[in-house]
Amino acid sequence: MSLFGLGSRNQKTFRPKKNAPSGSKGAQLQKHIDATLGSGNLREAVRLPPGEDINEWLAVNTVDFFNQVNILYGTLTEFCTPNNCPTMTAGPKYEYRWADGVTIKKPIEVSAPKYAEHLMDWIEAQLDDEAIFPQKLGAPFPPNFRDVVRTIFKRLFRVYAHIYHSHFQKIVGLKEEAHLNTCFKHFVLFTWEFRLIDKGELAPLSDLVDSILQL
């Protein structure tokens, strides 16, 4: 996406980039996202296109936001280490513990890089599960699809919160703050449009979120 292009040195991602399946509805919606983002109007870009299925729209955008966070966090892996970030925090008041509800049912304290690794593995497993994210046009979405999407976005927000609180000076040093801010603005407007994250979850970045929503 040209709007979110990074310098060539930062093309490594924390995880391999996910693509919408070619020839599918997802690929068509991806083209719509690229076109509207290219216009620079993020409020317009997040809206459900007329006549489109909301679950299809949520699915394609979930892949897109996963990729964006993937790239952003990938630029910081040399700085976000177990020594520098022994816990997954967003400032002094917020600490996130990891649980996936399957193999790890009781939340455990892990370093920030380990949290990000668990999170990206977990999201990839959801995206690759056709019972949750169907690849074929017309295949039904599960009844709990919106709940899965909400959990993904809630956890992706935590990566943004950690980056802003723990690594923003590094981002500035890499001259990527405009890119980070644009990605986060897009993320906030999308989650707000579809009520995907409860306001309380946004507390670590509440001032920034409020400034975005008031623009």
State the DSSP H helix or E strand holding residue 64, giving kind and residue range, or none if neither.
helix 54-74
CATH code where residue 144 lies? 1.20.140.30
State how far Cα 49 lies from the chain centre.
21
CA distance 139 to 143: 13
State the DSSP H helix or E strand holding residue 115, giving kind and residue range, or none if neither.
helix 112-128
pLDDT for residue 32: 62
For residue 8, give the amino acid letter: S
* pLDDT tens by residue, 172-203: 998 989 989 999 999 999 999 999 999 999 99
Range of the domain at 98: 14-213
Q: Which of 23-27, 49-53, 143-147 has the highest mean pLDDT?
A: 143-147
Number of domains in the chain: 1
188 CB contacts (<8 Å, ≥6 apart)? 202, 209, 212, 213
Q: What letter would DSSP give residue 108? A: B
Question: Does the structure show a pLDDT above 50 at 208?
Answer: yes
Q: Flag whether 8 is in a domain.
A: no
**Rounded to two decimals, what is the model's pTM?**
0.85
Do 105 and 114 contact (CB within 8 A), yes or no? Answer: no
For residue 74, give the nearest of 122, 16, 14, 118 by alpha carbon: 14
* pLDDT tens by residue, 111-160: 999 999 999 999 999 999 999 998 877 789 999 999 999 999 999 999 99
Rounded (10°) CA dihedral 8, 9, 12, 18 = -20
Mean pLDDT of 97-114: 91
CA distance 74 to 191: 22
Determine phi and psi for 210, rounding to 5 degrees.
Answer: -60, -40
pLDDT for residue 34: 65
Question: Does the structure show a pLDDT above 60 at 5?
Answer: no
Do 75 and 176 contact (CB within 8 A), yes or no? Answer: yes
Do 111 and 82 contact (CB within 8 A), yes or no? Answer: yes
Q: Which residue has the higher pLDDT, 17 or 104?
A: 104
